[in-house]
């Protein structure tokens, strides 16, 4: 590649990074004079690259928004970051169009990688292990995701076609506060104005979304991610578990994250700081109890089981098994 051609491609890369670039800035970055910059811009225009001239004191050159431009110029580290991000997104279920878009994007980037970069990528992927198997997730429709996101941004009510976990379809109105990605799923959380209740819906179960006239306000201090976590922690399950655990919030959250348990932290007395360790109340709603004894043991903190009685029996049984194993070792 001749030096002038290389500089033209560097000019394109600078313009692709966004914003208006002055002639003086481009000349300095390319190591040429102003006249040469204008000549390089003319070469890009001859190649049908939509370079726009911006007049005025703060003028210069920029690319016309909305165009798909070849070539996409990525450094080695940038290409590796993009491909690893696509791999992680597919495994986490955070893709649209059933992963097809992510797969085709990865293939396009990989096709233009220099051989030495492709070999480095293969080495990383061969060496990479995940602590859990890839999830089997139903991905949201891309158009639904974009429509909901636009409604969140502009605070517009939404009309949704929604199918619940039993397959029943209904029409709903939602004031969407935010979109949340959690445990490989996409959720939208907000309020149903028709019934005056909060709602958190899975995006992959939305079969159609359209904005409605008007706008709405969001209550001060609303945290969409925390709303979703609270919803999981308080969902209706077979058992309601209430514990008192002595320790710090960080120690308890290591085994009982916010998506599993709600912690009640007593307020410190006036004029005193909250102690580093104290008795905290943990509330859980779970389908099964058999996993909890091992979690409580792993916390290595004093705890009291307020309910249910079945959990006390399971903890006692685990303690007996551990004692028996220790004696027979």
What's the CATH number where 43 sits?
Answer: 1.10.10.10
Are residues 157 and 242 both part of a single domain? no
pTM above 0.85, yes or no: no
Place of tokens 């008007």: 214
Are residues 151 and 201 both part of a single domain? yes
The answer as to whether 227 is a domain residue is no
Are residues 159 and 123 both part of a single domain? no
Residue 80 has pLDDT above 80, yes or no: no
Q: How many independent structural domains does the chain possess?
A: 4
Q: What is the pLDDT of residues 122-154, one digit of tens each?
A: 777 777 766 655 555 667 787 888 899 999 999
Are residues 13 and 91 both part of a single domain? no
The answer as to whether 71 is a domain residue is no
Are residues 90 and 54 both part of a single domain? no
The answer as to whether 228 is a domain residue is no
Residue 124's closest CA among 93, 80, 79?
80
3-class state of residue 284 by DSSP: strand
Are residues 239 and 313 both part of a single domain? yes
Tokens of 135: 């999830």
* The predicted structure's pLDDT at residue 17: 76
The answer as to whether 134 is a domain residue is no
Residue 282 is part of a domain; what is its CATH number? 3.30.70
Query: Does 79 or 296 have the greater pLDDT score?
Result: 296
The answer as to whether 271 is a domain residue is no
Which structural domain range is residue 146 located in? Answer: 142-222
Q: Yes or no: say if 111 and 118 are a contact pair by the CB < 8 Å rule.
A: no
pLDDT confidence tier of residue 101, bands split at 50, 70 and 90:
low
The answer as to whether 68 is a domain residue is no
Exposure of 211 in the CB half-sphere (CA atoms within 13 A): 17
* The predicted structure's pLDDT at residue 1: 40
Strand partners, 233: none
The answer as to whether 163 is a domain residue is yes
């Amino acid at each position: 590649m001749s030096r002038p051609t290389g500089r033209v491609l560097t000019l394109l890369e600078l313009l692709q990074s966004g914003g208006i670039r002055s002639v003086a800035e481009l000349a300095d970055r390319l190591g040429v004079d102003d006249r040469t910059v204008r000549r390089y811009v003319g070469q890009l225009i001859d190649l049908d690259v939509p370079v726009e001239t911006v007049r005025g004191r703060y003028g210069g050159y920029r690319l016309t928004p909305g165009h798909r431009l070849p070539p996409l110029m990525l450094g080695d580290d940038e290409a590796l970051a993009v491909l690893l991000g696509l791999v992680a997104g597919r495994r986490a279920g955070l893709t649209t169009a059933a992963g097809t878009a992510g797969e085709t994007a990865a293939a396009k980037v990989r096709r233009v990688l220099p051989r030495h970069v492709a070999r480095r990528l293969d080495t990383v992927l061969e060496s990479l292990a995940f602590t859990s198997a890839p999830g089997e997730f139903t991905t949201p429709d891309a158009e639904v995701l974009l429509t909901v996101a636009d409604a969140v941004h502009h605070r517009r009510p939404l009309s949704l076609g929604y199918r619940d976990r039993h397959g029943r379809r209904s029409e709903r109105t939602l004031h969407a506060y935010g979109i949340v990605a959690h445990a490989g799923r996409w959720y939208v959380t907000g309020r149903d104005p028709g019934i005056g209740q909060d709602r958190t819906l899975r995006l992959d179960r939305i079969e159609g979304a359209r904005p409605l006239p008007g706008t709405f306000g969001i209550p001060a201090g609303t945290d969409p991610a925390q709303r979703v976590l609270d919803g999981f922690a308080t969902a209706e399950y077979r058992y309601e578990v209430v514990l008192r655990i002595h320790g710090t919030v960080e120690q308890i959250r290591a085994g009982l994250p916010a998506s599993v348990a709600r912690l009640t932290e007593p307020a410190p007395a006036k004029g005193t700081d909250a102690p580093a360790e104290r008795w905290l109340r943990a509330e859980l709603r779970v389908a099964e109890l058999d996993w909890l004894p091992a979690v409580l043991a792993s916390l290595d903190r004093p705890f009291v089981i307020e309910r249910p009685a079945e959990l006390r029996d399971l903890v006692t049984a685990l303690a007996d098994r551990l004692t028996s194993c220790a004696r027979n070792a």
